[in-house]
Amino acid sequence: MSPHPAPTAPRPPLRVALAGIGVVGGGVVRLLETNRDLIARRAGRTIEIVAVSARDRHKDRGIDLSRYRWEDDMDALVAADDVDVVVEMIGGADGSALTLARHTLGAGKALVTANKAMIAHHGLDLARLAEETDTPLKYEAAVAGGIPVIKAIREGASANEIARVYGILNGTCNYILTQMERNGASFADALAAAQAEGYAEADPTFDVDGIDAAHKLSILAALCFGTRLDIGAVAADGIRGLIAADIREAEALGHRVRLIGMAERNGDGLYQHVQPCLVPADHPLAYVPGALNAVVTEGNFVGRLFFEGAGAGAGPTASAIVADIIDIARDEYGPAFAMPVDSLDAAPVADAGARIGKHYVRLIVEDRIGVLAEIAAAMRDAEVSIESFIQRGTDEEDGVVIVLVTHAGPARAIHAALAILAGSDHVVSTPMLMPILAL
Amino acid sequence: MSPHPAPTAPRPPLRVALAGIGVVGGGVVRLLETNRDLIARRAGRTIEIVAVSARDRHKDRGIDLSRYRWEDDMDALVAADDVDVVVEMIGGADGSALTLARHTLGAGKALVTANKAMIAHHGLDLARLAEETDTPLKYEAAVAGGIPVIKAIREGASANEIARVYGILNGTCNYILTQMERNGASFADALAAAQAEGYAEADPTFDVDGIDAAHKLSILAALCFGTRLDIGAVAADGIRGLIAADIREAEALGHRVRLIGMAERNGDGLYQHVQPCLVPADHPLAYVPGALNAVVTEGNFVGRLFFEGAGAGAGPTASAIVADIIDIARDEYGPAFAMPVDSLDAAPVADAGARIGKHYVRLIVEDRIGVLAEIAAAMRDAEVSIESFIQRGTDEEDGVVIVLVTHAGPARAIHAALAILAGSDHVVSTPMLMPILAL
């Protein structure tokens, strides 16, 4: 009943071409060289790099590429008769990465990519192309680096209706947040430290504003819910607005601050939001340290699954890329989003305001008579029920820090209260609003 | 290049027979009924139960089986023309479960099983049979219940050389240990509570003596290291010897006690041991509560991966079983142990005494002059270097509790020291020896 060749039949090598040899590409070369024999045993055939291509042939990459054919033109990888799989590690949602991906799949060759931006923006088109040419399209490395979470959801949890998927999808932000936790550092100082350590880029926008996490979340949501990938429907708030007091007050409330990407089925709609959240101390996400990533799924039979590991870096990313290549070598693959593109649902965007939950609100206000009454009135008028109210009496951040925790209620109410307070002369800076993760 | 049928071709239903309808079997029926449409979308075809078989047709199972053909004789499931997959949920290493498994694979039908004892004892023979008939043999549910850890290792981490695999593989023991942690309960009281809650069987031997965890560990080791499954090579110490003071002293040392199954490549040999260990508070295994399971792998490129979820129960186990069935429906499967049986290595058993690490030793001694000197002399004579020594001065367990922590050294030395002390009249009960998990 199996489509697989009999185990005695020797299988020809799987021939791989690498496009884009940066940090990750170097990791893939090293991995395929270091673990060559082991991989051949597991894949049932050898996996051979036959050609490489990148922009600058003469750049020192710290690895010996001389044994592989060099192509200045990436399209030559697609055209070559001796290439079965093209690995795209160029990056960027569009441009030459997308062109190469389209040409590869169009030519009926397998594509492996680590490119979350490209998958988030063009994943459906690429998956359709892969279906038309009956070709594998694999992207394990695009989400949560070395954690095999695409496989865990697509296959491991495939029997379950998933209620929600969420996690720590950006290691840079988690590194910054755990630095703020440990040292009481400001966001700016923690970011500078992360940049010095190589955990954050000179321009950190993609990471700290939640864009990178949004790309990954949109991919997870499509897989979990069988919905059409829709990056435009993902709301993203980053961590720039956090101050040291937020981390401290969260801790005092028995929580930790994490940048959480959350996708949830909400009636007929789909809620997708990346934002800083308060995570209870008895939730495993509260213990994810440094630059690690972690993903949680909640299935109707399996319950909660939790996966943690390195979300970036040459080794972990190469591990995910080569796992995809091994799947292809074994002929163990199927539709990129677990089912044909045409059978994915177009879920409407959920009404985020209707979402029920507890919230953390931090305000910085002027230290004068009447401010407290103003805040209390805004909450009352917006029908926000307050569980706790903390004013420590210290003056920092050019004002007094006030922290509210609401009872569970619709997000819309708290937004309305903040809209009222936005008109106040006494609220010094933009309030910080964080959902409190429900277990 | 794909062996898969074109996506437009409708595929016939995959027809499943269930053997053994207990708690897990009931879960599989409920899952396949509840998530039927979702599973059909993901699998690309419907999955249909066509027949069921169990010992007692008239037992009340709380589910309606009347729509499925009943077979009193399990072999009729194998013989039936309309059965593609047999799901074995009978249990037990041998007997009717093994007979059914052999007949199923011998007849060229796919076998899905949750039976860790059978896989641990007969996995290689069954895998060889599956190869001969080119038939899937899948057993995701046999290890760590709902956590897709077989898939994560076999496929997700397949690019890595794995240095070690370890984890919490028995939910009953973890439940008991976390009860002892929370309440300061004795082992006997915590076991009684676990039995009352349904987390432990009336005869808890398989769980609390580490036998169940040993079965699972042997399977993980074979997958991680490409070695021949060898249940006889797994040492197993359970948790019966733990007293409340062990949990308390571990906590005071910044650790938690967990029953850890650990398999490690050690030179040419393979170390496999299930035993209570001290887990540092900054290791994720220290935060695995209640009846959950968790598995850690350490790969040479991906680094540390951590997987947590429900290790038992109808829903999680059914989730793993049906994931296997979906893989078969998708034609995404390969050799049971990731490579053909004949290419698995026969790794020798590692010299456990040569293993270097820190140890926790707890003694109960008579409260009299000279005992301390006797212990100190035994450690000196065995060349065990002591990092800390704690005697709280309280009299409990009919003696004085003394806790030693050693510096890192070979396990053989500490065993030698305990052998010397075994001859002492002043050591009241069997010492408790626990490795301290290195990060």
pLDDT digits (tens, 9 = 90+) for B10-27: 799 999 999 999 999 999
Active site residues of A: 216
- Substitution target from B160, B165, B342 for chain A, most A beta carbons within 10 A: B160
Location of each CATH 3.30.360.10 domain in chain B: 149-311+335-352
CA distance A180 to A173: 11
CA distance A198 to B73: 64
What CA dihedral angle connects B171, B172, B175 and B178, to 10 degrees?
A: -100
pLDDT, tens digit (0-9, with 9 covering 90-100), for A270-326:
999 999 999 999 999 999 999 999 999 999 999 999 999 999 999 999 999 999 999
Q: How confident is the model at residue B268 (pLDDT cuts 50, 70, 90)?
A: confident
Tell me the C-alpha to C-alpha distance, in Å, between residue A225 and each of A7, A151, B70, B213, B385: 36, 15, 35, 34, 56
Q: Could you say which of A289, A301, A335 has the minimum Cβ distance to residue B31?
A: A301
Fold of B353-435: Alpha-Beta Plaits (3.30.70)
**DSSP E strands: which ranges in B114-243?**
137-138, 162-168, 235-236
CA distance A275 to A263: 11
Which chain B residues touch A301 with a CB distance below 8 Å? Answer: 27, 31, 34-35, 146, 315-316, 318-319, 322
Of B89, B93, B57, B94, whose CA–CA distance to B72 is shortest?
B57
> Does A268 score more than 90 pLDDT?
no
Gap between the terminal Cα atoms of chain A: 44
> Does B1 score more than 50 pLDDT?
no
Q: How confident is the model at residue A2 (pLDDT cuts 50, 70, 90)?
A: very low
pLDDT, tens digit (0-9, with 9 covering 90-100), for A171-183:
999 999 999 999 9
By CA distance, what is A136's nearest residue in B?
B2
Partner-chain contact B41 A308, CB within 8 Å: no
Q: How confident is the model at residue B282 (pLDDT cuts 50, 70, 90)?
A: very high
Which chain A residues touch B106 with a CB distance below 8 Å? Answer: none
% chain A with pLDDT above 90 = 91
Q: Tell me: is residue B19 an annotated ligand-binding position.
A: yes
The ipTM, to two decimals, is 0.95
Q: What is the mean pLDDT of residues A59-81?
A: 94
The confidence score (pLDDT) of residue A9 equals: 63
Q: Which residue has the higher pLDDT, A280 or B61?
A: A280
Q: What is the mean pLDDT of residues A207-223?
A: 98
Q: Tell me: is residue A26 an annotated ligand-binding position.
A: yes
% chain A with pLDDT above 70 = 97
By CA distance, what is A285's nearest residue in B?
B284
> Does A5 score more than 50 pLDDT?
no
Location of each CATH 3.30.360.10 domain in chain A: 149-311+340-352
Partner-chain contact A305 B307, CB within 8 Å: yes
Of A324, A293, A334, whose CA–CA distance to A114 is shortest?
A324
Location of each CATH 3.30.70.260 domain in chain B: 353-435
Partner-chain contact A7 B318, CB within 8 Å: no
Q: Tell me: is residue A62 an annotated ligand-binding position.
A: no
Partner-chain contact B156 A160, CB within 8 Å: no
Q: Tell me: is residue A20 an annotated ligand-binding position.
A: yes
CA distance A270 to A43: 38
Partner-chain contact B159 A319, CB within 8 Å: yes
Q: Tell me: is residue A409 an annotated ligand-binding position.
A: no
Length of chain B: 439
Location of each CATH 3.40.50.720 domain in chain A: 14-142
Which chain A residues touch B168 with a CB distance below 8 Å? Answer: none
Fold of A149-311+340-352: Dihydrodipicolinate Reductase; domain 2 (3.30.360)
User: Out of 2.10.70.10, 3.90.226.10, 3.30.70.260, 2.30.30.830, which CATH number does the structure's domain A354-435 have?
Assistant: 3.30.70.260
pLDDT, tens digit (0-9, with 9 covering 90-100), for A37-54:
999 999 999 999 999 999
**DSSP E strands: which ranges in B89-234?**
110-113, 137-138, 162-168
How many Å lie between the alpha carbon of B201 and the closest alpha carbon of chain A? 22
- Token couple for B149: 């850890």
How many Å lie between the alpha carbon of B195 and the closest alpha carbon of chain A? 22
Q: Is A395 exposed, middle or buried (0-12, 13-18, 19+ CB in 10 A)?
A: exposed
User: Mean of the per-residue pLDDT values for chain A?
Assistant: 95
Amino acid identity of residue A89, one-letter, is M
The confidence score (pLDDT) of residue A93 equals: 96
Which chain A residues touch B335 with a CB distance below 8 Å? Answer: 7, 44
> Does B211 score more than 60 pLDDT?
yes
CATH class of B14-142: alpha beta
Q: How confident is the model at residue B9 (pLDDT cuts 50, 70, 90)?
A: low
> Phi and psi (nearest 5°) for B331?
60, 30
Q: Is A202 exposed, middle or buried (0-12, 13-18, 19+ CB in 10 A)?
A: exposed
> Does A139 score more than 70 pLDDT?
yes
pLDDT, tens digit (0-9, with 9 covering 90-100), for B308-345:
999 999 999 999 999 999 999 999 999 999 999 999 99
pLDDT, tens digit (0-9, with 9 covering 90-100), for B118-139:
999 999 999 999 999 999 999 9
Element of type H or E holding B417: helix B411-422
Q: Which residues have a Cβ under 8 Å from the Cβ of B363 and sit 6 or more positions away? A: B375, B401, B402, B403, B404, B421, B427, B431
Amino acid identity of residue B398, one-letter, is D
Tell me the C-alpha to C-alpha distance, in Å, between residue B306 and each of A145, A296, B166, B437: 13, 12, 10, 15
Q: What is the mean pLDDT of residues B154-159?
A: 97
The confidence score (pLDDT) of residue B127 equals: 98
SS3 (DSSP) at A194: helix
Q: How confident is the model at residue A1 (pLDDT cuts 50, 70, 90)?
A: very low
Partner-chain contact A308 B309, CB within 8 Å: no
**What number does CATH give the domain B149-311+335-352?**
3.30.360.10
The confidence score (pLDDT) of residue B421 equals: 95
Q: How confident is the model at residue B5 (pLDDT cuts 50, 70, 90)?
A: very low
Q: Could you say which of A159, A284, A343 has the minimum Cβ distance to residue B319?
A: A159
Location of each CATH 3.30.70.260 domain in chain A: 354-435
CA distance B438 to B283: 9
How many Å lie between the alpha carbon of A373 and the closest alpha carbon of chain B? 42
User: Mean of the per-residue pLDDT values for chain B?
Assistant: 95
pLDDT, tens digit (0-9, with 9 covering 90-100), for A147-203:
999 999 999 999 999 999 999 999 999 999 999 999 999 999 999 999 999 999 999
Q: What is the mean pLDDT of residues B158-183?
A: 97
Which chain B residues touch A307 with a CB distance below 8 Å? Answer: 305-308
How many Å lie between the alpha carbon of A404 and the closest alpha carbon of chain B? 29
How many Å lie between the alpha carbon of A285 and the closest alpha carbon of chain B? 10
> Does A334 score more than 80 pLDDT?
yes
Tokens 């219940």 appear where?
A: B145
Cβ neighbours around A3 below 10 Å, total: 11
Q: How confident is the model at residue A8 (pLDDT cuts 50, 70, 90)?
A: low
Interface contacts (A, B; CB < 8 Å):
241
The confidence score (pLDDT) of residue B267 equals: 78
Per DSSP, what are the bridge partners of residue B362? Answer: B403, B432
CB B288 within 8 A of CB A294: no
- Substitution target from A11, A16, A42 for chain B, most B beta carbons within 10 A: A42
